[in-house]
Amino acid sequence: MSILFINGSPNKKGNTARLAAALLGSRDYETLNLTDYRINVYGQRLAGDQFDEVMAKIKAADTIVIGSPLYWHNICGSVRTLLDRFYGPAASGSLRGKTLYFLFQGAAPEQWMLDAGKFTMQRFAKLYGLSWGGMATTEGEARALFK
């Protein structure tokens, strides 16, 4: 089983990465740091876009873990841009057979913020045919989630 951790945080070894390590334990996984890739916003046609490269890695994985820090009360911009870019290039149901986990952490999130992030990721999973593995916001939740 191949596992891809998509880290939306600009801090490659920060809290989001620690949540992934707690979730995945000793399993082998590839980390894709979104800040290392140029993913243009939806509708842009600029040279150097690497969305297709990221999409190829997503399609090759069996399990996808998306991690986002909580910025401005919701999912960080790099993850949001990635999700937006699925419109058009990815057909509804095109990721069927894969499982999605979501890691979402912030300094002092309120429940409505966590609920909004979870809602977005569950809708994303449903639209593209991913099985929803769940969401973790703490290391304890992450360790319990992926057993």
- What's residue 64's pLDDT? 98
Closest CA to 125 of 104, 147, 103, 94: 94
The enclosing H or E element of 96 equals none
- What's residue 147's pLDDT? 72
- Please give the torsion angle defined by the CA atoms of residues 103, 60, 48 and 42, in that order, rounded to the nearest 10 degrees: -60
Tell whether 122 is covered by a domain.
yes
- What's residue 107's pLDDT? 83
Q: What is d(CA 5, CA 21) in angstroms, rounded to the nearest whole number?
A: 10
Tell whether 79 is covered by a domain.
yes
Q: What is d(CA 129, CA 31) in angstroms, rounded to the nearest whole number?
A: 22
- Please give the torsion angle defined by the CA atoms of residues 20, 126, 75 and 106, in that order, rounded to the nearest 10 degrees: -50
Q: Count up the domains in the chain and report the number.
A: 1
Tell whether 147 is covered by a domain.
no
Tell whether 27 is covered by a domain.
yes
Low-confidence residues of the chain: pLDDT under 50: none
Tell whether 88 is covered by a domain.
yes
Q: Please write the tens of the pLDDT for every residue from 77-118.
A: 999 999 999 998 888 999 999 999 999 998 888 899 999 999
Token pair 């449903």 is at which residue?
A: 126
Tell whether 9 is covered by a domain.
yes
Tell whether 75 is covered by a domain.
yes
- What's residue 103's pLDDT? 97
Q: Residue 97's domain is classified under what CATH number?
A: 3.40.50.360
Q: What is d(CA 65, CA 7) in angstroms, rounded to the nearest whole number?
A: 8
Provide the residue range defining the domain that includes 27: 1-142
pTM of the entire structure? 0.95
